[in-house]
Chain A
Amino acid sequence: MSPIRMPRGDAAPAATVAPGPGGVAAALEAVGARVVVEGAVLLDGVDFTAHPGRVHSLIGPNGAGKSTLLGVLAGDRAATAGEVRLGGRPLADIHLRDLARERAVLTQEHAVTFPFPAREIVEMGRHPWAKTPAEDDDERMIAEAMRLTDVAHLAERTLPSLSGGERARVALARVLAQATPILLLDEPTAALDLKHQEDVLRLARERATAGATVVVVLHDLGLAAAYSDDVTLIAHGAVVATGAPSDVLTAERIEAVYGQPVEVLPHPRTGVPLILPIR
C-alpha cells in the first residue's frame, strides 16, 4: 500500500477526500472556555481559535487540559462558562447531524465493542452523509481513506485481531472518510511507528492545505514544530502562549512549563526548531 508520496502543496490526493458538501471550513473558536468538574478547574477561561487552512497543535504537559479543550471544541462536553463557536454559531445550537458533517474527531480510544471488520469501521464514518447526495461518494471516500492511512490490506480483518497502531490507523481512516472541513485529532501519533507518525501529520498537513481546519493534540514537540502553522501551549488549564511554532517553542518557556531543561536549535537545512532535552 502506497503511503503519501506527494510533495507538500500538491493537493491532488487531499482534494479527492476534501471537505464534503458540508462546504467551506469555518473558524472554530473557544471564548473564555471554563470547565469545572467536582471543584477541579480543568480549563480556566481559555481563548482559542483554529483557522481554516491551518494545522493548529495543542501541546502541554500531562493533565494540562489539552484533551479537555479538544472535547469542548468537539461538543462532547459543555463549557461551565464561556462559549464555543463554529463559524460564529454557538456549538450548542448546531444539530448533532449537521455538526457531524462539519467536524470529525479522533479520540484516544479506538476500541470497539463487537468484532467489526476494519472496512465496516471506516464505513461508519460515512454515516452523517446517509440519505444525502454525498452518499454516492461513499465507496470512493472509504477506499481513499483506507489507502491514505495504509490500512487497505486490513479491510477484512476484525478490529480485535489488529495491533494498537493498526487500530489507530483504522480509526483515522474512519475520521478521514467522514470528509469534514474540520478535523480534531487527539494524539493521533500515540501508538504509531516512525513512518506512520510522519504519514499522519503529512495527511493533516495536506488536509489543511486543501482548506480544512485541523486541530491536533501532540506530545512530540518536534512533530508539532515541524507540521504546525500555529501552536498553543497549555498548562494548568490555561493558555501559556500561542502563535507560530518558533515563537512559542523557546527553551525558557518549555523548561518553565514542563520542568525539563531543553535546547532549541534550528534545523541546519529547514530551520524548523529542534527540541532536545538536556540529558
Chain B
Amino acid sequence: MSAQDAAPRTDERPVGESADAPPAASAVGEVAPAASRDPDRPSTADPAAPTSRGTAARRVILFTGLALALVAVAVVAAMSGQLHLPAGEVWNSILRALGLTDVPESVPNADAALWTIRFPRIVMAILIGAALAVAGTIMQAVFSNPLAEPGVVGVSSGAALGAAAAIVFGWTAAGDWVTAAIAFGTGILTTFAVYFASRSGGRTEVVTLVLTGIAVNAFASGGLALLTFLGDNQSREEIVFWQLGSLNGARWEEVQVMLPVIAAALVAGFALARRLDLFSLGERGARHLGVNVERTRVISIVVVAVLTGAAVAFAGIIGFVGLIVPHLMRMVIGPSHRGLIAASALGGALLLLTADLVARTAVPMADLPIGMLTSLVGGPFFFWLLRRQRRKSGGWG
C-alpha cells in the first residue's frame, strides 16, 4: 500500500469496512466535500484493473498459506499415531519408496505403518475434503443460496439408506466394495429423484426443489429408522458408525477410485465457474447474458452428486465441510468462482485432514467419528460466521 500513490487509496477501502460507513464522502466530507465526485478531477479509480491489488495479494497469501498448511498437517498426520515417527523418518520412507535412498528404517515397521495405513488415509482425507467443499461451493452458486449444501438434494440421506440396506440385508458378504457402491448409487439416484420430482414444464423452482429435498430426506430417514429396527445388534452398530463418518481403514484401492472421479468433477467445476458467477444475478439475469440456466443447473447437480456421493460412499456422512469452507474462502478472496472453487478445494482438504488427525489422535487408542467432530465444531462455528457476516454487511441475502 505504501508504495502506491495517494490517489487510488480511496478505492482500496477494505471491503468489509465499507458496509459500516456507507459513502466515502461522509468520512472526508468536511475536508474535501465530495472530492470523489468532482467532475473535473481525472478518473482516479481504475476500473480497468482486473482485480484490486488488495484482492490479488489476499489471493496469493490464501493459496500459499493453504498449500503450506496442507503440507505441514500432512507431515504431522504421517508422524502421529500409536507408532510415533519423526519427520525425518517420514521423509526417508518416501525417498525409499521412490528408490532414492538406501537409509534403513530407524523405527521398526515405519514403512508398513506409513504406506498401508497413514498415507492412504491422508490422501483420502484430502480428496474427500476437497470433494465436499467444492460440491458445497457449486451448490451454493447454482441455487443462488448461501445456505444450500449437498444434503439438500438428498444425496447424503439416499446414500445412507443404501448403505444401511446393504448392511442389514447382508449384501456386504458379496465383497468389500458393495456398501460403497450401493451408497454411491442410491445417493445419485436420490438426487435425480429430487431433481426430476421438482421439475415442471422444463423449469425448476429452487423453493420447490428444497421442499422436495426435505420430503425425500424425511422419507430416507424413515427408511433408515426401519432398517435400524430390522437389523440385529451388529448391523445397528455398523449403521450408526457408518453414518457418523470415518476415514478409518482407507486403502489405496479407494484412492484409485476417488482420484479420477474427483479430478473429473473438479475440472467440470472450473469449466462452470464463470457461469456460476452469473447465477448471482438471478435466473433472468444469467439468461440475459446467454447462460442456459436449466442445463447449467443439471450439469452442476450431476457434478455435486458425484462429488458428494463418492465422498459419502467411502467416508460416511461428514457434515458442514461443504457449508463452511466456501463461506470462509469467500470472506477472504470474494465470491468470484474461478478462485473460489480452487480455494475451497484446498480449504476443504486442509479442514478434513486436520479433523481426521484430531479424530484419530485426540483420544488414545480410539478413532473418533469424523462426521461427529466436524458437526460439533462446525455448528457453532457456522453460527458465529452468520452473526459476523450479518454485522458486517447485512447478511448474505
Contacts and interface: CB of A to CB of B under 8 A. Distances in A.
Interface of A: 1-3, 5, 74-76, 96-101, 103-105, 107, 109, 111-117, 119-122, 124-125, 127-128, 130, 139-140, 142-143, 146-147, 150, 152-158, 160-161, 163, 178
Interface in B38-85: 39-40, 43-48, 50, 52, 54-55
Contacts of A104: 288
B287 A76 contact: yes
Contacts of A103: 288
Interface stretch (B11-19, B183-191, B240-248): B11-19
B24 interface: yes
A101 B290 contact: yes
B37 A1 contact: yes
B289 A178 contact: yes
B33 interface: no
Contacts of B291: 96, 127
User: Sorted from nearest, which 6 A-B pairs have the closest CB atoms?
Assistant: A100-B290, A114-B335, A97-B290, A113-B144, A152-B45, A155-B47
Contacts of A117: 15, 52, 55, 334
Nearest to B335: A114
Given A117-B15, A150-B37, A156-B11, 13 more contacts: A2-B39, A2-B40, A74-B288, A107-B285, A113-B280, A117-B55, A122-B47, A125-B289, A128-B289, A153-B24, A155-B47, A155-B52, A160-B19
A115 B289 contact: no
20 contacts: A75-B287, A100-B288, A101-B290, A107-B284, A107-B285, A111-B282, A112-B281, A113-B145, A113-B282, A115-B330, A117-B55, A124-B289, A127-B290, A139-B50, A140-B48, A153-B24, A153-B36, A155-B47, A163-B22, A163-B23
A152 B47 contact: yes
A120 B289 contact: no
Given A116-B335, A158-B18, A153 B280 contact: no
Contacts of B277: 116, 120, 124
A146 B335 CA distance: 20
Contacts of B19: 158, 160-161
Residue of A2, A103, A107, A113 ringed by the most chain B CB atoms within 10 A: A113
B393 A158 contact: yes
B320 interface: no
A120 B45 contact: no
Nearest to A160: B393
B145 A158 contact: no
Contacts of A111: 282
A74 B393 CA distance: 33
A155 to B, nearest CB: 4
A147 B23 CA distance: 18
Contacts of B11: 153, 155-156
A111 B285 CA distance: 10
B290 A99 contact: yes
B274 A1 contact: no
A115 B334 contact: yes
A120 B37 CA distance: 21
B289 A100 contact: yes
Contact of A3 (B15, B39, B48, B287): B39
Contacts of B280: 112-114, 116
A158 B333 CA distance: 12
A153 B37 contact: yes
B223 interface: no
Given A1-B37, A119-B47, A143-B47, A124 B281 contact: yes
A161 B18 contact: yes
A152 B46 CA distance: 7
Interface in B271-323: 274, 277-282, 284-285, 287-292
A127 B278 contact: yes
Nearest to B10: A153
Interface in B323-342: 330, 334-336
A161 to B, nearest CB: 4
B292 A96 contact: yes
Contacts of A109: 282, 284-285
Contacts of A5: 39
A67 to B, nearest CB: 11
Contacts of A158: 15, 18-19, 393
A107 B37 CA distance: 26
A103 B279 CA distance: 19
Contacts of A115: 15, 330, 334-335, 393, 396
B279 to A, nearest CB: 7
Interface string B340-362: 00000000000000000000000
B394 interface: yes
Contacts of B45: 1, 146, 152-155
B39 to A, nearest CB: 4
B3 to A, nearest CB: 18
Given A1-B39, A107-B285, A157 B18 contact: yes
Nearest to A166: B23
A113 B47 contact: no
Contacts of A128: 289-290
Contacts of B86: none
A180 B229 CA distance: 63
Residue of B44, B288, B336 ringed by the most chain A CB atoms within 10 A: B288
Contact of B288 (A2, A105, A121, A153): A105
A97 B291 CA distance: 7
B378 interface: no
Contact of B278 (A2, A107, A124, A152): A124
Contacts of B50: 139
B279 A113 contact: yes
Contact of B274 (A2, A130, A153): A130
Given A115-B334, A116-B336, A163-B22, A96 B287 contact: yes
